[in-house]
């Protein structure tokens, strides 16, 4: 019987391999409208100027003070018609540091109560209350307005996976699963998949495994999200299939192997003790079965506190599942 070395020992033999930070995506996500509001010194609503139907003027101050600098953006035809009908206002922020305006979103009556809550929370969020901020948007996942729903997804997309797991999350899993396959929701796919893994609905396990298989040639964030969600939902059984089968399946590209190892490393950080032990055991077998995977294992485990004693905090992995961001509501 082949003796399996402890995974920590396997990694110690690779101590010379540099550790790298990781995320599912090698890019810095664009800030959400909430972040841009937090960064601004003033937040206002604007409507048509009294002197020109093509220019904006401040109609309501939400935070800060009314800037002396006028809003430089011209009103396009579509927005002008909505403004004339009295249905919307346009949300702007102003930065005293850059002395520039940013157009953030178009606000209608359905969205306004959510905007009011966000504005009231900005001072606390600026102090760094990440969990409270994330929970506020987790509570909006099932909001009937699609703009608010999308804003909630993009806000949750920014938090670390440990924070995401700690939230109280309730949503319509069947609807979210359907949204994953909608082309218009492609930018939100990874965060939607991560949420499905946190749903506790074991009937979704087959869908998540199929997502892993469907993205085995991919280079984007989807496979990592599916692998992470599948492990979250099905635990050790998913870990065994990923580490014993899919890591050695030639249909999975080197990029796909990397995303699988990253998902395993993430759960080695934040999973329950039994799951962490199982992942360490499986990765020890992986390294011994194929030494060419040792450097990859070291990259995502050795640099993430995998040899830490119980109770020590491993490095947080941050998920930002969107390849790009657009202004919600524009």
The predicted pLDDT at position 86 comes to 87
pLDDT tops 70 at residue 313: no
Long-range contacts of 72-81 (CB under 8 A, 24+ apart): 72/101, 73/101, 73/103, 75/48, 79/106, 80/48, 80/53, 80/54
Residue among 103, 92, 169 nearest 134 (CA): 169
Query: Cβ neighbours of residue 327 under 8 Å, at least 6 residues apart?
Result: 33, 103, 104, 105
Burial 80-100 (b: 16+ CB within 10 A, else e): eebbeeeebbbbbbbeeeeee
Query: Cβ neighbours of residue 138 under 8 Å, at least 6 residues apart?
Result: 152, 156, 167, 168, 169
CA 263 to each of CA 266, 319, 326: distance values in angstroms, whole numbers, following the listed order: 5, 11, 27
3-state SS, residue 61: strand
Residue among 232, 193, 188 nearest 214 (CA): 193
For residue range 24-62, list pLDDT tens digits in order: 544 345 689 999 999 999 999 999 999 988 999 999 999
For residue range 248-274, list pLDDT tens digits in order: 999 999 999 999 999 999 999 999 999
Distance CA 236, CA 229 (A): 12
Mean of pLDDT values over 186-215: 94
Mean of pLDDT values over 196-204: 96
Q: What is the pTM of this model?
A: 0.82
Share of the chain above pLDDT 90, in %: 69
pLDDT tops 80 at residue 16: no
The predicted pLDDT at position 79 comes to 92
CB 37 within 8 A of CB 45: no
The predicted pLDDT at position 327 comes to 32
Tell me the pLDDT band of 187, cut-offs 50, 70 and 90: confident
């Amino acid at each position: 019987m082949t003796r399996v070395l402890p995974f920590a020992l396997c990694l110690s033999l690779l101590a010379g391999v540099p550790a790298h930070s990781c995320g599912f995506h090698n890019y810095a996500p664009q800030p959400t409208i909430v972040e841009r509001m937090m960064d601004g010194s003033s937040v206002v609503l604007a409507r048509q100027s009294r002197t020109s139907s093509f220019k904006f003027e401040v109609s309501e101050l939400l935070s800060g003070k009314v800037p002396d600098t006028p809003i430089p953006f011209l009103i396009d035809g579509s927005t002008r018609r909505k403004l004339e009908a009295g249905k919307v206002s346009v949300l702007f922020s102003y930065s005293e540091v850059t002395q520039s305006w940013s157009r953030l979103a178009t606000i209608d009556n359905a969205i306004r109560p959510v905007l009011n809550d966000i504005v009231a929370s900005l001072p606390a969020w600026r102090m760094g209350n990440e969990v409270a901020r994330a929970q506020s948007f987790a509570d909006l996942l099932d909001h009937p307005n699609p703009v608010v729903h999308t804003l909630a997804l993009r806000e949750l997309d920014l938090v670390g996976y440990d924070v995401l797991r700690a939230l109280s999350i309730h949503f319509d899993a069947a609807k979210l699963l359907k949204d994953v396959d909608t082309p218009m929701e492609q930018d939100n796919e990874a965060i939607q998949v991560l949420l499905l893994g946190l749903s506790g609905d074991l009937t979704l396990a087959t869908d998540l495994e199929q997502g892993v298989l469907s993205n085995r040639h991919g280079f984007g964030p989807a496979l990592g999200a599916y692998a992470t969600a599948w492990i979250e939902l099905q635990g050790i059984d998913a870990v065994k299939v990923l580490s014993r089968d899919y890591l050695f399946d030639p249909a999975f590209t080197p990029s796909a192997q990397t995303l699988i190892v990253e998902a395993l490393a993430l759960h080695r950080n934040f999973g329950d003790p039994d799951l962490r032990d199982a992942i360490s055991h499986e990765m020890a077998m992986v390294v011994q079965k194929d030494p060419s995977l040792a450097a990859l294992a070291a990259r995502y485990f050795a640099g993430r506190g995998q040899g830490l004693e119980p109770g020590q905090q491993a490095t947080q992995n941050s998920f930002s599942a969107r390849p790009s961001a657009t202004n919600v509501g524009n």
